[in-house]
């Protein structure tokens, strides 16, 4: 197992480095300058601004310095828009909010989707199966940018039960609508994947043997069927949690949560390339880390993977 972990870490490190280089190159190729919005400013002032932020240096020097600062101090550099703040300050303010409801959305998606899929597989071709499949299909066609206005329309404007935006320190009533809007489509995908995987496992010979021996159905499910049925689900959960975080930009904008997505959109509109690159690299590292975690969980559940 240790050799497997080392191999995956050796693959993850150059992947993150390649992501940093690629993101930096794309920022360099993007037209315009972070200070193009400075109307009527003399050229010597713009030259001083570029010198202050190191933009007068060759690209390869700035890339090397960026990688060095990131590797040694995890420093994303100064922000071009928020002149008194660094990119680390912006991420420290917005990312905990996005992380909070992103993780809650993932937990809700699993807590509902996995039992729903297992129930549909056990009660195959019954009304419960039909209801679960119908719910999954209906939820999968409602992405978060469609669910968000529907939830606000119903629970805020019509019923007046929940606030339609804001954060207010992460109080539970401010969390419900963003979490539900973000989790619904992933919940449906998890339910469908769990159902199909469980149906396949329940028809396997070793499950038929266990049932022929007279074991209770509950024990067959928990002791023999659940673990192999979760392998495809675990493979899906890694990218899902990454998408729950990276796909939360629309939720941040719609519900005005103050999350990192709002800063990312504002940086794109204001050409703050430092924030754009910092958030992109952060999300890329999260994706690589979660995929690494999924590989380790997969190998722990299925020993054939780590010895393959």
pLDDT tens digits, residue range 114-154? 888 888 888 888 888 888 888 887 777 777 778 888 888 88
| Torsion sign, CA atoms 275, 276, 278, 279 | positive
**How far is 106 from 25, CA to CA, in rounded Å?**
33
pLDDT of residue 94: 84
**Residue whose C-alpha is closest to residue 273's, from 3, 35, 15, 16:** 35
C-alpha distances out from residue 118 to 64, 123, 128, 251, 259, Å:
50, 9, 11, 29, 34
Q: Given this model, what pLDDT does residue 220 score? A: 80
Q: Which of 88, 60, 91 is nearest to 75 (CA)?
A: 88
Render pLDDT for 27-77 as a digit per residue (tens, 0 to 9).
777 776 666 665 666 666 666 766 776 777 787 888 888 888 888 888 888
Q: Tell me how far CA of residue 193 lies from CA of 117, 247, 258, in angstroms.
A: 7, 20, 33
Q: Are 262 and 252 in contact (CB under 8 A)?
A: yes
Percent of the chain with pLDDT over 90: 0
Check: CB of residue 26 under 8 Å from CB of residue 280.
Answer: no
15: Cβ–Cβ under 8 A, 6 or more apart, which residues? 288
The rounded mean pLDDT for the chain is 80
Average pLDDT over residues 13-37: 79
Given a cut of 80, is residue 278 above it in pLDDT? yes
Q: Which residue has the tokens 């539900």?
A: 180
Residues composing the chain: 308
Per-position b or e across 277-300, b if 16+ CB within 10 A of its CB: bbbbbbbbbbbbebbbebbbbbbe
pLDDT given for residue 33 in this prediction: 66
**What's residue 247's pLDDT?**
61
Res 78: pLDDT:
83
Contact 71, 221 (CB under 8 A): no
Q: How confident is residue 105, by pLDDT bands cut at 50, 70 and 90? A: confident
Residue of 51 and 112 predicted with greater confidence: 112
Q: What is the pLDDT of residue 239?
A: 75
Weakest mean pLDDT among 16-25, 31-40, 61-70, 199-208: 31-40
pLDDT at 246: 66
Quick check: 89 pLDDT over 60? yes
> How confident is the model at residue 39, as a pLDDT?
60
Contacting residues for 270 by C-beta, under 8 A, at least 6 apart: 34, 37, 80, 81
The predicted-structure confidence for 224-275, as pLDDT tens digits, reads as follows 787 788 878 887 887 777 777 766 777 887 887 878 877 888 787 777 888 8
Give the span between the Cα atoms of 77 and 59, in whole angstroms.
15
> pLDDT, tens digit, for every residue of 167-184?
887 788 888 888 888 888
């Amino acid at each position: 197992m240790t050799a497997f972990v080392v191999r995956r870490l050796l693959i993850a490190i150059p992947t993150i480095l390649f992501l940093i280089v690629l993101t930096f190159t794309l920022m360099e190729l993007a037209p315009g300058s972070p200070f193009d919005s400075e109307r009527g400013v003399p050229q010597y002032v713009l030259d001083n601004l570029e010198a202050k932020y190191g933009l007068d240096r060759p690209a390869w020097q700035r890339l090397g310095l960026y990688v060095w600062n990131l590797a040694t101090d995890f420093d994303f550099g100064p922000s071009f828009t928020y002149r008194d703040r660094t990119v680390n300050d912006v991420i420290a303010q917005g990312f905990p909010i996005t992380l909070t409801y992103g993780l809650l959305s993932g937990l809700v998606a699993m807590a509902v989707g996995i039992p729903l899929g297992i129930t549909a597989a056990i009660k195959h071709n019954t009304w419960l199966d039909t209801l679960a499949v119908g719910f999954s299909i209906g939820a999968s066609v409602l992405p978060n940018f469609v669910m968000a206005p529907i939830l606000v329309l119903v629970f805020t404007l019509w019923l007046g039960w929940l606030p339609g935006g804001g954060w207010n320190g992460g109080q539970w009533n401010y969390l419900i609508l963003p979490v539900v809007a973000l989790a619904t489509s992933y919940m449906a995908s998890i339910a469908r994947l769990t159902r199909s995987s469980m149906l396949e496992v329940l028809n396997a010979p070793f499950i038929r043997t266990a049932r022929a021996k007279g074991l209770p159905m509950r024990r067959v499910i928990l002791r023999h069927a659940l673990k192999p049925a979760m392998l495809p689900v675990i493979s899906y959960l890694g990218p899902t949690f990454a998408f729950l975080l990276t796909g939360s930009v629309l939720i941040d904008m719609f519900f005005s949560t103050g999350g990192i997505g709002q800063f990312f959109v504002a940086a794109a509109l204001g050409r703050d390339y430092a924030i754009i690159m910092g958030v992109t690299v952060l999300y890329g590292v999260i994706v690589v880390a979660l995929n690494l975690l999924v590989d380790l969980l997969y190998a722990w559940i299925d020993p054939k993977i780590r010895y393959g």
